[in-house]
């Protein structure tokens, strides 16, 4: 076996997750292409398919399925790489988790295609999908829990054998992300098991709508950090290795992940700022907590640019910005991730605007929000994942990421950037002009609405141009994936792709950072402070429940 | 734990910015009263048309010279359809839904309210300029979601 190569069992497992992820990616991006044309009244769907089905599929397949399956592939490969081969039980439970997650996904997709669940990925009650849609959602989450606990089991076994040592940074960050995910999912699991399923199958008549929304958003915001943290892992642990250096500061990296566990969960109300049923005080308190994640975000930004500058100077960069030119721009594994980071600067700033309490009214549920998540999950996260794909798939399949494929990869990331820049800028501007999100062709007969088809950037057509470029880019990526998976030449020992893991100096890292009981305890205290009173208020002063509606 | 000097400066700068942002938001919200829409009254979502004030939706002038617009969102429209209100007067919008979640969003203003069944939402707004304002539903509510709109006629007093 090649040095640094992981065992066959884990390779198969990670590839299974990746295969699922990219199948979802292909269908999801195709749905996106259809949407921009429909919104311009340039395409009419056949009778058996409607816009909101396509929109539901786009959101679910890209934001939930692609991300989650990719993340688990990355975790499984990385945990095996950094902690050693999985035991038989760890491998088995990972497979069981993968199968349960896949079954849940298939059930959800079947319901959506069958027209039984055009409820979008937020599935707000009292829109009522088929009961099996919610069963599928529950299976999906349970499957991720099984995989998550299997990985945590692998970590615990490693720690037992390495008493008194710090875990490798990659493993630490994986565990932190999984802890956050498991705690976050409690909200959506409670809503689905105790509210949606009994109501959708007709066992109870009414549903407490505002409670279900609050439980959803208790999960919905940490969900975005579940996408983001694996990207941060790539930035902290993979990128320095590609640059040929080590992690800037081990303790800062660990501290920032711990802060994300604490501050990404008790913040869901900032998605519900314009809703009745939650007192202003609680909305404001969660706004304050939301802003706390700015601190680890700033720490991450500092670490990244410190790494770049230090390495650029080592390579001979002179003057204030000379180091910048010394970075390995010709290495697509680096350039893709750098562009991803650059997109996150406006993405993060937009997020601060969205969460700013009364400022939320300006943009809530407008196209601005759509623009926002295309330059957060749609580029910083997705393009980081592309950058990982370029070496992760050949690493797992034993093939070569050839020069020709590297050129294609550059075209792919650049076209994605251009398409996304056009589309998301148009979406942001249109949102400020009041254009709503989640609508089919917006032919409102009013001057304000007609203006949404004027202008250069403030135009639905610009959005469609961007969307079309994005689809071409997505197709190119699929081509690269297929090449790396089945067609590219096999690598010999010298050419084999490696799984880059930067070394991280733990000599100055304080012990308490790896004390999970402490962090989980504080996380639950914060959650209790932010949620106990407003949620019990929603339960105690509940209006009569809402019935079942299928308005699509 | 060791922090680099520049990192300390960077974090202090960031945390100060955070405190300033939050103070601005907080003062604007609780001192000047600029809070987003909200409300704590409940209603039986099946009996909206029989429950005051939604049994008689419409525009009402109140004793203090301000106005209240009582409106029900339902798939896929608003009741009443088009309303007329005066410019320069404070308008209190009071909305609920008789079926699924909608929104009541007046394009070009900060009136952007979630309309949730079982809950009553409020927002105060003063239209300075007369004209016809577009109202849209910006929360997905079904196959006719993109047809759900109305207008508010703001007239010179």
What ipTM, to 2 d.p.?
A: 0.95
> Looking at the predicted structure, is the pLDDT value of residue A2 above 70?
no
Segment A337-351 shows an average pLDDT of 96
pLDDT > 90 in chain B, percent? 87
Structure-block tokens of residue A516:
């999970």
Helix/strand/coil (H/E/C) assignment for every residue in A463-499? HHHHHHHHHHHHHHHHHHHHHHHHHCCECCCCCCCCC
pLDDT at A424 over 90: yes
Q: How many CA atoms within 13 Å lie on the side-chain side of A109?
A: 17
- The answer, yes or no, to whether residue A133 has pLDDT greater than 90, is yes
Please state, in angstroms and rounded to a whole number, the distance separating the CA atoms of residues A113 and A116.
Answer: 7
Residue-averaged pLDDT of chain A: 94
pLDDT tens-place string over residues A58-110: 999 999 999 999 999 999 999 999 999 999 999 999 999 999 999 999 999 99
Domain A8-540 in CATH 1.20.910.10? The answer is no
Residue of A39, A154, A271, A372 marked catalytic: A372
What whole-number distance in Å separates Cα of residue B10 and Cα of residue B18? Answer: 12
A352 touches chain B (CB under 8 A): yes
Residue B100 has pLDDT above 90, yes or no: yes
Helix (H/G/I), strand (E/B), else coil: A428: helix
Q: Identify the band that residue A3 occupies on the pLDDT scale cut at 50, 70 and 90.
A: low
pLDDT (tens digit, 9 = 90+) per residue, A134-163?
A: 999 999 999 999 999 999 999 999 999 999
CA distance A534 to A73: 38
Q: Does A444 touch chain B (CB under 8 A)?
A: yes
**pLDDT by residue (tens digit) across A508-543?**
899 999 999 999 999 999 999 999 999 999 999 999
- pLDDT-derived band at A464, boundaries 50, 70, 90: very high
Establish if B88 touches chain A: CB-CB under 8 angstroms.
no
Distance (Å) from the C-alpha of residue A431 to the closest C-alpha of chain B?
10
- The answer to whether the CB of A284 falls within 8 A of the CB of A273 is no
Q: Is the pLDDT of residue A447 over 90?
A: no
Chain A residues with CB inside 8 Å of B110's CB? 358, 361-362
**Quick check: B105 and A279 CB within 8 A?**
no
**Does B56 contact A at CB distance below 8 Å?**
no
pLDDT tens string B113-152: 999 999 999 999 999 999 999 999 999 999 999 999 999 9
Q: Over 60: is that where the pLDDT of A241 sits?
A: yes
The neighbouring-strand residues paired with A549 are: A127
> Could you tell me which residues are beta bridge partners of residue B84?
B153
Radius of gyration of chain B (CA): 20
Q: pTM of the predicted model, to two decimals?
A: 0.96
**What is the pLDDT at residue A386?**
98
Cβ distance A302 to B112 less than 8 Å, yes or no, reads: no
Tokens for A518, please give them: 């402490």
User: How high is the pLDDT of residue A65?
Assistant: 97
Is residue B1 pLDDT above 90, yes or no? no
**Which element (helix H / strand E) includes A403?**
helix A403-432
pLDDT in tens, B39-75: 999 999 999 999 999 999 999 999 999 999 999 999 9
- Per domain, the residue ranges of chain B are 1-35, 45-155
Domain ranges of chain A: 8-540
Which pLDDT does position A43 carry in this prediction?
A: 87
Q: What confidence tier does A40 reach under pLDDT thresholds 50, 70, 90?
A: confident
Binding-face residues of B in 96-155 toward A, CB within 8 A:
99-101, 103, 105, 107-108, 110-114, 116-122, 132, 134, 136-146, 149, 151
- Percentage above 70 pLDDT, chain A: 99
Q: A247 and A253 in contact (C-beta within 8 Å)?
A: yes
> To which CATH superfamily is domain B45-155 assigned?
Cupredoxins -  blue copper proteins (2.60.40.420)
Cα gap B49→B46, rounded to integer Å = 8
């Amino acid at each position: 076996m090649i040095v640094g190569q992981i065992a066959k069992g884990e390779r198969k497992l990670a590839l299974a997750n990746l295969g699922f992820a990219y199948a979802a990616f292909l269908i999801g991006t195709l749905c996106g292409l259809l949407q921009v044309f429909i919104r311009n009244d340039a395409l009419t769907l056949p009778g058996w398919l409607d816009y909101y089905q396509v929109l539901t599929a786009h959101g679910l397949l890209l934001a939930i399925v692609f991300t989650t399956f990719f993340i688990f592939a990355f975790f499984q490969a990385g945990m095996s790489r950094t902690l050693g081969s999985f035991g038989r039980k760890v491998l088995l439970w990972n497979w069981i988790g993968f199968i349960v997650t896949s079954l849940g996904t298939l059930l959800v997709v079947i319901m959506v295609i069958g027209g039984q669940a055009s409820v979008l990925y937020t599935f707000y009650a009292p829109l009522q999908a088929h009961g099996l849609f919610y069963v599928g959602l529950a299976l999906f989450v349970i499957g991720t829990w099984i995989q998550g606990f299997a990985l945590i089991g692998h970590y615990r076994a490693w720690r037992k054998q390495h008493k008194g040592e710090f875990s490798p940074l990659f493993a630490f960050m994986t565990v932190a992300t999984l802890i956050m995910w498991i705690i976050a999912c409690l909200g959506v699991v409670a809503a689905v098991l105790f509210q949606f399923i009994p109501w959708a199958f007709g066992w109870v008549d009414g549903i407490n709508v505002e409670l279900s929304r609050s439980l959803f958003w208790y999960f919905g915001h940490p969900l975005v950090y579940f996408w983001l943290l694996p990207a941060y892992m790539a930035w902290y642990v993979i990128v320095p290795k590609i640059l040929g250096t080590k992690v800037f500061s081990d303790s800062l990296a660990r501290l920032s992940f711990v802060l994300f566990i604490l501050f990404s969960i008790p913040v869901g109300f900032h998605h519900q700022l314009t809703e009745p049923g939650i007192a202003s005080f609680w909305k404001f308190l969660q706004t304050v907590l939301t802003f706390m994640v700015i601190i680890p975000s700033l720490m991450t930004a500092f670490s990244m640019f410190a790494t770049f500058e230090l390495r650029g100077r080592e390579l001979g960069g002179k003057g204030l910005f000379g180091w910048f030119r010394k970075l390995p721009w010709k290495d697509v594994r680096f350039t893709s991730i750098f562009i991803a980071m650059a997109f996150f600067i406006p993405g993060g700033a937009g997020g601060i605007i969205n969460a700013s309490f009364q400022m939320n009214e300006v943009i809530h549920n407008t196209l601005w929000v759509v623009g926002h998540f295309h330059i957060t999950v749609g580029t910083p996260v997705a393009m980081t994942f592309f950058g990982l794909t370029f070496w992760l798939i050949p690493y797992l399949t034993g093939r070569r990421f050839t020069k020709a494929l590297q050129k294609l990869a550059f075209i792919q990331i650049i076209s994605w950037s251009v398409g996304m820049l056009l589309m998301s800028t148009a979406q942001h501007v249109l949102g400020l002009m009041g254009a709503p999100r989640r609508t089919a062709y917006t032919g409102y007969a009013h001057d304000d609405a007609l203006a949404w088809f004027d202008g250069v950037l403030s135009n639905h057509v610009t959005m469609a141009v961007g969307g079309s470029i994005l689809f071409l880019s997505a197709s190119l990526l699929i081509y690269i994936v297929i090449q790396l998976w089945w067609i590219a030449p096999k690598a010999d020992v010298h050419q084999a792709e490696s799984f880059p893991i930067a070394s991280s100096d733990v000599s100055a890292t304080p012990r308490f950072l790896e004390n999970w009981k402490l962090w989980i305890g504080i996380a639950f205290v914060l959650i209790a402070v932010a949620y106990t009173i407003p949620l019990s208020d929603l339960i105690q002063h509940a209006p009569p429940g809402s019935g079942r509606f299928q308005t699509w | 734990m060791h922090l680099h000097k520049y990192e300390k400066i960077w974090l202090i700068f960031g945390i100060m910015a955070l405190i300033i942002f939050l103070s601005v938001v907080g003062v604007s919200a609780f001192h000047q009263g600029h809070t987003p829409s909200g409300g704590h009254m409940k209603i039986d979502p099946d009996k909206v048309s029989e429950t005051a004030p939604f049994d008689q939706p419409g525009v009402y002038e109140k004793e203090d010279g301000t106005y209240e617009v009582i409106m029900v969102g339902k798939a896929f429209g608003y009741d009443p359809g088009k309303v007329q209100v005066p410019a320069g007067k404070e308008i209190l919008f009071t909305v609920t839904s008789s079926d699924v979640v909608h929104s009541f969003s007046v394009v070009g203003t900060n009136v952007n309210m979630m309309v949730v069944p079982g809950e009553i939402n409020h927002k105060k707004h003063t239209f300075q300029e007369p004209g016809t304002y577009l109202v849209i539903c910006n929360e997905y509510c079904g196959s006719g979601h993109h047809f759900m709109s109305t207008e508010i006629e703001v007239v010179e007093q």
